[in-house]
Amino acid sequence: MLKKNFLVVLSLIILILLSGCSSKPKTELQQYNELTNSLAYNALKTISKTTIDPSLALYDAVKPDSAEPINPSYVHALASTSFAIIGGSKWAIVEANLAMDAANEPLSQHVAYSVLSLALHNKGFMELGDDYALKAKSLEDGDMMLDKFDKNKLVISAILGINAVRRGEGEIAELHLQDIAERRKVEWLPVVAHGTAIMMKNPNLIGMANLTKLMSREDISLTARNKLAELRAATEQQLDDPDNLKLAAGEKIQKWTFESLKLVGEAGLTAITFALESLFLSGGPQL
């Protein structure tokens, strides 16, 4: 009888120990590896490649010899940060990894690491995101970077500008988007990006007060003030739901940035925005 009771108790102890082992939380790296090996992840990767690659191939086939080729790494990086700002955390990681796969020199690697860091933070993988932020920072300097930046200035400005918006870094976003503003006289875009970043950082009444304060800046145009008023109207309706507020703000700045890139009138930028708009139509962030 004692032996039987002993075996029962021993069995219970083993079950408890096994239960404790099985309930041990997975590391960020384990969760990330599971995500990148999942069927859903690979389905999104296929959708991206079958949407973006043909658009870039068509551009390469018809562009004049004098036009710069499009680096697919920047297209995927812009897709990643655009998905991140409108709530598509899984797809943002897909696109960031595709950007890394296509990155072939320090600047495109810096941009790819930057957007992957944001995508990972968005997904809740904070330590992994920090690791890639450090990798991006390690590639910030160098003459080669400056030369490559000049050749891809506008698309990189859009990527890093939207990236800064999503992180709530208003002044940095305003600085990055200045290049696009100067090119097509959309002087309102940088300050509107700043306003969007304010709402990303504080999706509440504090953010609304800071946005109103920004609107009173003497150096901004009437158009910029009207755009900020439009942003305020879209976000104040969502004050009871911070996630929806961020989504509303993100959709606005994504739309305005893409419209501004089209206004530049360069064939390469038009091809990029067309490819990305087709990608968003193929499923959007809910996938």
Confidence grade of residue 23 (pLDDT, cut at 50, 70, 90): low
* pLDDT confidence band for 149 (50 / 70 / 90): low
Please state, rounded to an integer, the average pLDDT across all residues of the chain: 85
Residue 179 lies in a domain: yes
Assess if residue 89 is contained within a domain.
Answer: yes
Sign of torsion over alpha carbons 259, 261, 267, 272: negative
Helix 242-264 vs helix 153-166: crossing angle, to nearest 10: 170
The CA distances from residue 71 to 154, 169, 247, in Å, are: 13, 26, 28
Domain-embedded: residue 9 = no
Contact, 254 vs 85, CB < 8 A?
A: yes
Q: By mean pLDDT, which of 4-8, 91-95, 271-275 is the weakest? A: 4-8
Cβ atoms < 10 Å from Cβ of 123: 19
139 SS3 class: coil
CA distance 165 to 195: 9
Average pLDDT for 48-73: 86
Taking the C-alpha atoms of residue 151 and residue 168, their distance in angstroms, rounded to an integer, is 27
Taking a C-beta distance cutoff of 8 angstroms, is the pair 129, 178 a contact? no
**Cβ-based neighbours of 203, under 8 Å, separated by 6 or more:** 235, 238, 239, 242, 243, 245, 246, 249
Q: pLDDT by residue (tens digit) across 97-113?
A: 999 999 988 889 999 99
Q: Is residue 81 part of a domain?
A: yes
259-276 pLDDT, tens digit each: 898 888 778 888 888 888
Residue 246 has pLDDT above 90, yes or no: yes
35 domain-assigned:
no
Confidence tier at 145 by pLDDT (50, 70, 90): low
Structural domain contains residue 263: yes
**Domain containing residue 99:** 50-281
Query: Would you place residue 245 in the very low, low, confident or very high pLDDT band (cuts 50, 70, 90)?
Result: very high
User: Which tokens go with 36?
Assistant: 């990148």
The whole-angstrom separation of Cα 92 and Cα 286 is 11
Q: Give 76 or 12, the one with higher predicted confidence.
A: 76
> Residue 14 pLDDT > 60, yes or no?
no
pLDDT band at residue 168 using 50, 70 and 90 as cut-offs: very high
Q: Per-residue pLDDT tens for 222-237?
A: 999 999 999 999 999 8
| Lowest mean pLDDT across 34-43, 160-169, 176-185 | 176-185
Q: What φ, ψ does residue 71 adopt, rounded to 5°? A: -80, 115
- Is residue 148 very low, low, confident or very high in pLDDT (cuts 50, 70, 90)? low
What pTM was estimated for this model as a whole? 0.84
- Total structural domains within the chain: 1
Q: Is residue 32 part of a domain?
A: no
pLDDT category at 56 given cuts 50, 70, 90 is confident
% residues pLDDT > 90 (the chain):
53
Residues 17-33, mean pLDDT to the nearest whole number: 73
